[in-house]
Amino acid sequence: MQSITLIRPDDWHLHFRDGEMLKETVPATARCFNRAIAMPNLVPPVTNADMAMAYKQRILDAVPEGQTLEPLVTLYLTNTTTAEDIREARQKGIVASKLYPAGATTNSDAAVEGIKSLYPVFETMAEVGMLLLIHGEVTESHVDIFDREKEFIDQYLVDITATFPDLKVVFEHITTKDAAQFVLSSSDKVAATITPQHLLLNRNDLLVGGIKPHNYCLPVLKRNIHQQALRDVVASGANKFFLGTDSAPHEKHKKENACGCAGCYSAWSAIELYAEVFEQLNALDKLEGFASLYGPDFYGLPRNTDTITLVKNDWTVPDSIALPTGDDIVPFYAGQTLTWKLA
């Protein structure tokens, strides 16, 4: 096979950041994705509808002439979020809100402490048809970082999905066999996104031979049995799993640091990275469902009608990308060869 034509895909989880960074991240995403769920963990976080709509406009202003992109902005849930905040956001077309346990990832210090206190908000979300997107990790310091996803399932996610059976929940960027099994065993109101890094890598790729800061992300890479479980579910074509890159840019000096930032910036090679995975799995026939169909179906949005084409053409992911700020960023898979390229 020398080419693959897909219905144009969407990215159901990414970080554009803000300000000058948008001049880099928005064109990188618009090159192949039609819609993108924009994470709200800015500084300050996007906590109400007015902030969300202003952020959407800043993203749109950064779309290059001749390209199209529909940013789907989200609300950042806090302990002060109200049912009225949810209703107002939904009236303005906001499709989802994001639950970060406080301290779980970049810019999440203002997030939720005491998840059950948000149950009235979840009830309203179910009522108005707003999706709940969850970063599913506990943050208690005594819990091993490799066990935090499973602990979140046991402590919180089982109860959330049982208490609100009509609430659509996306378990974001899952990393474990436990998470994959939970999603498969749950109702059709529960789905998950999977990143390219968690399909391509495991914790050996982070730690063996020295720490690889540009492979450091949260949730952290897990052992190979969990990586294999994720590869198995995407190869199966199960429609509960769809594309969400979690592309998360950080300047090189912030990654290569004594306390380096978490995040892999994959936007410029995202669809090619996924094609690499699906070819490795002899499952290229399942790529379109994962990338282009299952996400809009779960969100209740129309599938895209235009297409993209990938061609067999070896190319090397650049070692660095110059940012408008004058800094450099090291992209995910920097210096490595991919065999598929967007035509």
Residues contributing to the annotated binding site: 13, 15-17, 41, 98, 135, 173, 218, 246, 250, 262
Task: Report the distance separating Cα 96 and Cα 74, nearest Å.
Answer: 5
Q: At 297, list the tokens.
A: 């179906």
Q: Which two tokens stand for residue 7?
A: 């219905």
Task: Please state the residue numbers annotated as binding site for substrate.
Answer: 15-17, 41, 135, 218, 250, 262
246 is catalytic: yes
Q: Count the neighbouring beta carbons within 10 Å of the beta carbon of residue 47.
A: 20
Q: Are 304 and 34 in contact (CB under 8 A)?
A: yes
Q: Please give the Cα distance from 307 to 212 (Å, whole number).
A: 36
Name the catalytic one among 246, 306, 314, 319.
246
The binding site for Zn(2+) consists of 13, 15, 98, 135, 173, 246
Question: How far apart, in whole angstroms, are the C-alpha atoms of residue 182 and residue 151?
Answer: 12
> Please, are residues 116 and 128 in contact by the beta-carbon 8 Å criterion?
no
- What does the DSSP 8-state code read for residue 218? S
Contact 97, 133 (CB under 8 A): yes
d(CA 310, CA 124): 42
Positive or negative torsion for Cα 270, 272, 276, 282: positive
Can you tell me the distance from the alpha carbon of 342 to that of 48, in angstroms, rounded to the nearest whole number? 37
- Rounded Cα distance between 152 and 22, Å, is 32
DSSP H helices in the chain: 22-30, 49-61, 83-91, 119-128, 148-152, 158-163, 177-185, 196-200, 204-207, 224-236, 252-255, 270-280, 287-288, 294-299
Q: Catalytic positions, please?
A: 246
